[in-house]
Amino acid sequence: MCLPIKRVWFQDTKFDIIDEVFEPSEDSFLFAENLDIHNGDEVLDLGTGCGILGVLAAQTAKSVLSVDINPYAVNCAKQNAVLNNVQYNMAFLRSDLLTALNTGVLFDLILFNAPYLPSEICEIETWIGRAWAGGFTGRDVIDRFIPQAVTHLKPFGRVLLLQSSLTDLNLTLQKFHEYGLSTVVKAERKLPFFESIHLIEAQSVP
């Protein structure tokens, strides 16, 4: 059990945040406001952090697997599932992206509020750094994620991916198209200093 340093609310759902775990921010809230989960969905919440998107998804979905590379985040998400009484249809896993999943494990929906900002190598030396730092172009994690995600989608399965305009939105759309997925930008929010964040929905079209 880790001691929370702060409690954050999204509507009537609460999240305790612990040291070493990304505190939900503007990007998390834009994502949460535009989560559209279908009854019966089997959902993967990748980079779960404190579990905000997974816990919200679990209120409607059939099941949610919350995954993070950060072991503190995996524990924090588990605690927040219990705090909101949705632990019964959630599971938790520490993994680098989807590498710990067996072939053939498929989802209706994969959520990822990715680390998407351009950064120096040294930024990934802390857990909080790894939550936002995407390497020199900001694309290191996103570019590894896309090919892995497409192999774990059911027919007509969807990916919701959040990233910044600083990280080449069009290149992400192009990469999804190369794997045969259709895309739409579902939501967008302008931030100060010429940056905007975008929630991309990509769907497999068999």
CB of 15 to ligand SAM, least distance (A): 9
CA torsion angle for 24, 63, 112, 197 (degrees, to 10)? -60
Q: Does 163 bind ligand SAM (CB under 6 A)?
A: no
Residue 137: other Cβ atoms inside 10 A: 14
Which of residues 41 and 140 has its CB atom nearest to ligand SAM in the complex? 140
CB of 103 to ligand SAM, least distance (A): 18
- # binding residues, ligand SAM (CB under 6 A): 23
**How far is it, in rounded angstroms, from Cα 36 to Cα 109?**
10
Cβ pair 38, 105 in contact under 8 A: no
CB of 124 to ligand SAM, least distance (A): 8
Q: Does 167 bind ligand SAM (CB under 6 A)?
A: no
Of the candidates 55, 70, 109, 142, which one interacts with ligand SAM according to CB under 6 A? 70
H/E element holding 171?
Answer: helix 169-178
Site map (CB under 6 A) of ligand SAM, residues 28-57, x = contact: x--x--------------xxxx--xx----
Strand partners, 107: 153
Beta strands (DSSP E) in 11-118 are 13-18, 42-46, 63-68, 90-94, 107-113
- Helical pair 140-150 and 169-178, crossing angle rounded to 10 deg: 20
CB of 42 to ligand SAM, least distance (A): 18
Question: Which residues bind to ligand SAM, rule: CB under 6 A?
Answer: 22, 24, 28, 31, 46-49, 52-53, 67-70, 73, 96-97, 113, 115, 130-132, 141
